[in-house]
Homo-oligomer: A and B are copies of this chain.
């Protein structure tokens, strides 16, 4: 029952005494229409309350002007904010975003089938594309852009912050406060950003002649729980450290809680630095020192890059790196008791 859901281009044409093609020209802002007929058509459109049918346009153009954004989840602030940026930017250019949660590669494959194979979406934004095997599920022909991935020698553009530099800066901040035993809590090491942040961490240690300790580097899954567990594990092992660099704020906050439960004060006994600057970072106790990334801008750039990719398939693929800023709050402090070093 394809119900008549409103006036069509032909109704407008009839009302304005022009061909439907002229109406098409007007609504698409194409040159070569007399100002007068344009006015007539516009009057007809206004009078009938005509709105172009987006599905019919997609059909005729062979392009749906819709993207899919595949994210590990929709709830983590970092992802959500990137998605919000991408949605906003896409809209500015007449594109739409279907954002979905693909926590593993089965769900990823399913979405690829339902969104891409069925041509409901004409391009994809993939957040953290190297979390698992999902990369191989993307046919070379589909326009895509990666977020949170290192530039690779391939035809897919990428947007990321400079994770290595950020990891380095975070660690340097701690070193400058006098810390030398610096624990490190990473994201899943399959992901580029986790690797790069750790690389920055190691470089900073190296620069200061500090020997990295394997036991002080633990892999987490970005959750507060992971941060909590890591600190417990270090305690179990009797590990010694005076600072923790967590690769995201959630893990940092989880770590802070575990430290407190062990009777360790932050930052008096142990300094903690996070990554992201989520909205709650300044409200937890103590307020979290962290590396701020502009997630909204990342999303905007991702949308922009993908639009570029679908509209100018032959243009050079872009790899963008955005800066990260150190935001010093109260969870990091200078070592006063030299004994603890």
Contact = CB atoms under 8 A, between A and B. Distances in A.
* Copies of the polypeptide in the assembly: 2
Contacts of A96: 98, 114-115, 120
A37 interface: no
Interface string A54-75: 1110111110101000000111
Nearest to A78: B75
Given A55-B120, A84-B101, A3 B283 contact: no
Interface string A81-117: 1011001100100001111110000000000011101
Contact of A2 (B52, B60, B83, B98): B60
B284 A285 contact: yes
Interface stretch (A127-135, A150-158, A252-260): A252-260
Interface in A6-62: 6, 51-56, 58-62
Interface of A: 1-3, 5-6, 51-56, 58-62, 64, 66, 73-75, 77, 80-81, 83-84, 87-88, 91, 96-101, 113-115, 117-120, 223-224, 228, 250, 253-254, 256-257, 260, 279-280, 282-285, 287
Given A228-B283, A257-B283, A284-B285, 20 more contacts: A5-B119, A6-B119, A51-B118, A51-B119, A53-B118, A53-B119, A54-B119, A55-B120, A73-B84, A74-B81, A74-B87, A75-B80, A87-B100, A96-B114, A96-B120, A97-B98, A253-B280, A254-B283, A256-B285, A260-B285
